[in-house]
Chains A and B, each alone.
Chain A
Amino acid sequence: MAGNPFPLGKEELLQAYRTMRTIREFEERLHVDFARGDIPGFVHLYAGEEAAAAGIMMHLSAGDRIASTHRGHGHCIAKGVDPCEMMKEIYGKKGGSCHGKGGSMHIADLGRGMMGANGILGAGAPLVCGAALAAKFRNKGEVAISFVGDGASNQGTFLESLNLAAVWNLPAIFVVENNGYAESTSRDYAVAVDSYVDRAAGFGLPGVTVDGTDFFAVHEAAGEIIKRAREGGGPALLECKMIRFHGHFEGDAQAYRGKGELEDIRANKDCVKKFAAKVTGAGVLTQAELASIDKEVLSLIERAVQEAKAASQPTAADLLTDVYVTY
């Protein structure tokens, strides 16, 4: 058997694959169930972008904090939030991550360092400055990571946060998940610089751009940035160029996409397929090992859906809990 050319051991590679496959299956199942009318509200799917969440989050532990976006399911799963609780949350049921009060856009699990998906674009960046500030006071080498899309990278909150993190030398990392579209508007139309490395430089931050569909590229770049932040080296920006398989939200007809674009990205730019080809091609993992994880994941997601459907609805009494209401 050939040697392992990857910086990760076999178990870690299996874990990376399991994370990406769990996200993919979770999202593809939501795509189907949403179209069937099973799910209330808005849903924004992370399918196609799994390598970024998995590659970055493998470097984190529960004491490290992240703030996510409206497209947050992948970040949650990669950060260790229970997919069954997430599914219940998305169905608005009791036993959900937020007891059915948050929904898809607000899944949070602070005990696992997940400060919340967020319905307000760019709002997580200042919060992450605060999480990083708290980490700095605690002095245990923890970091905080803010995810934004290319759209929210134009928000004042994001730009102000880059400056604040630099001025205070915070262990904060800003990940721009550049999937080329802010809702329906192309990145190239709405962002004045070609490279986020230039934008970072404007705020005195180091910046790195990686192919976000390449798990190993993300993992390596994130590892260096996170290590530097843990050691007091301060904030940085990481741009992951990635691919969004679905529309902005479920139900988006995506007429703004180019001819053949969706077929091309599924066939040629699928980050999970690319990962599988690499690890099996190098002879480190076998098709059978991956197939076994596929099966395990399918069964987990099926269980999550069945549990979510069977879970009880919140009651009128739940309306008035978790906020002081007497006035």
Chain B
Amino acid sequence: MTRKISMKDAINEALDQEMARDPSVICMGEDIVGGAGAPGERDAWGGVLGVTKGLYAKHGDRLMDTPLSESAYIGAAIGAACCGMRPVAELMFIDFMGVCFDQIYNQAAKFKYMFGGKAETPVVIRAMVGAGFRAAAQHSQMLTPLFTHIPGLKVVCPSNPYDTKGLLIQSIRDNDPVIFCEHKNLYGLEGEVPEAPYAIPFGEANVVRAGKSCSIVTYGMMVHRSTDAAAILAKEGIECEVIDLRTLSPLDMDTVIESVGKTGRLVCVDEANPRCSIAADISAQVAQKAFGALKAQIEMVTAPHTPVPFSPVLEDLYIPSATQVADAVRRVMKGGRH
């Protein structure tokens, strides 16, 4: 039987194996080693939540602590990527993208196209996403739609340790800039992960649960809320098909369309805010490409159009729940053309 490790350890193992395989892979970020220049131990932190702990002992100065200076070091990672390196930059929280967004969307994303194919920018920017950590409005967002909107970026948001390792290895080997979104509430989630390195291709959704009544399309933490909802609904005789998109750009619409073709019903679940979200995008594409297959209205379950609140009571209300997903499916099952 394959061993079980946490999602956090799956990230660590992917970085370790890729750094061992390819000397051009370097890692940089704030406190990814920890203790730089301080009188105590190096590798004191291994990242704020210990994701990169232990890599410094194996790979030394190829892991670099940076000043608190996101524009400079994210830009440096992008510049190094244009000059033969494969940097993996850790941004800690995706909320900090605002500080260095120009380097991501005006520089990294555009080089290949804007320079007529003469530039490759194989950079990975890892960042924690998602709510539920009581970390409030500036450390809890699900900003995946923001990056999915930009041509030239690839956007990954895994839901389990197996996908995390395979998708991170693919991200490092990919020649385009990748925004790798790690849900901080999934770091401790354990799952079966092979020890040997493997890559999962981008743009291939995963059918987590098969069913014929209603398709639920989602990603990240919401995969778990959706499978919880599917379990509740199964007791009512409603069989949901749960699709984990895994990568938001590229996006596997074929699997979504095929599923809706079978079920005729669609609920999109997204931890992001509702407007211009992944849920809205999937809904629009299904309405356009599979209108004839739809037996009922499409429902979306998303966070409300508010910042993430601090109060644990409010934050729990903010995050889409299995109950909300189940209710949406029930509405879709009752709906339909008359």
Give chain A's interface residues, CB within 8 Å of chain B. 65, 67, 96-102, 106, 108-111, 115-116, 118-120, 123, 125-131, 133-135, 137-138, 144, 156-157, 160-161, 163-164, 167-168, 321-327
Quick check: is B54 within 8 A (CB to CB) of the other chain?
Answer: no
A97-B118, A110-B119, A131-B80 known; 6 new pairs, CB 8 Å cut-off, are A129-B76, A130-B82, A131-B83, A137-B26, A157-B102, A157-B103
Quick check: is B84 within 8 A (CB to CB) of the other chain?
Answer: yes
- A67: chain B residues within 8 A (beta carbon): 79
CB distance from B243 to the nearest CB of A (A): 16
Most A Cβ at <10 Å: residue of B66, B118, B154:
B118
Provide 26 A-B residue pairs closer than 8 Å at the C-beta atoms, listed in order of the A residue.
Answer: A97-B115, A99-B116, A101-B115, A101-B116, A108-B115, A110-B118, A115-B83, A116-B114, A123-B75, A126-B79, A127-B75, A127-B76, A129-B72, A130-B80, A137-B85, A156-B71, A160-B67, A160-B69, A164-B76, A167-B67, A323-B112, A323-B151, A324-B152, A324-B154, A327-B250, A327-B253
Question: A115 CA to B82 CA in the complex, in Å?
Answer: 8
Among B39-90, those with CB < 8 Å from A are 64, 66-67, 69, 71-85, 87
Quick check: is B113 within 8 A (CB to CB) of the other chain?
Answer: yes
When C-beta atoms are compared, the residue in chain A nearest to B74 turns out to be A126
Q: Is the CB of B103 within 8 A of A123?
A: yes
Question: A128 CA to B250 CA in the complex, in Å?
Answer: 29
- A106: chain B residues within 8 A (beta carbon): 114-115
Question: A65 CA to B85 CA in the complex, in Å?
Answer: 14
Q: Is the CB of B84 within 8 A of A138?
A: yes
Question: A197 CA to B176 CA in the complex, in Å?
Answer: 38
Give chain B's interface residues, CB within 8 Å of chain A. 26, 64, 66-67, 69, 71-85, 87, 102-103, 106-107, 111-119, 151-152, 154, 176, 203, 249-251, 253
Q: Is the CB of A322 within 8 A of B72?
A: no
Question: A281 CA to B84 CA in the complex, in Å?
Answer: 46
Question: A14 CA to B118 CA in the complex, in Å?
Answer: 31
Q: Is the CB of B118 within 8 A of A326?
A: no
Q: Is the CB of A163 within 8 A of B116?
A: no
When C-beta atoms are compared, the residue in chain B nearest to A102 turns out to be B114
When C-beta atoms are compared, the residue in chain A nearest to B70 turns out to be A160
Most A Cβ at <10 Å: residue of B72, B78, B82, B253:
B72
- B69: chain A residues within 8 A (beta carbon): 160, 163-164
CB distance from A157 to the nearest CB of B (A): 5
Q: Is the CB of B116 within 8 A of A129?
A: no
Q: Is the CB of B106 within 8 A of A120?
A: yes
Q: A322-B113, A323-B151, A324-B176 are in contact. Are A168 and B82 (CB under 8 A)?
A: no
- B67: chain A residues within 8 A (beta carbon): 160, 163-164, 167
Question: A128 CA to B82 CA in the complex, in Å?
Answer: 10
When C-beta atoms are compared, the residue in chain B nearest to A119 turns out to be B106
CB distance from B222 to the nearest CB of A (A): 20
Q: Is the CB of B73 within 8 A of A164?
A: yes
Most A Cβ at <10 Å: residue of B76, B115, B176:
B76
Question: A135 CA to B79 CA in the complex, in Å?
Answer: 11
Question: A131 CA to B117 CA in the complex, in Å?
Answer: 19
CB distance from B27 to the nearest CB of A (A): 12
- A163: chain B residues within 8 A (beta carbon): 67, 69, 72
- A118: chain B residues within 8 A (beta carbon): 107
Q: Is the CB of A101 within 8 A of B113?
A: yes
- A326: chain B residues within 8 A (beta carbon): 203, 250
Q: A123-B102, A123-B106 are in contact. Are A130 and B81 (CB under 8 A)?
A: yes
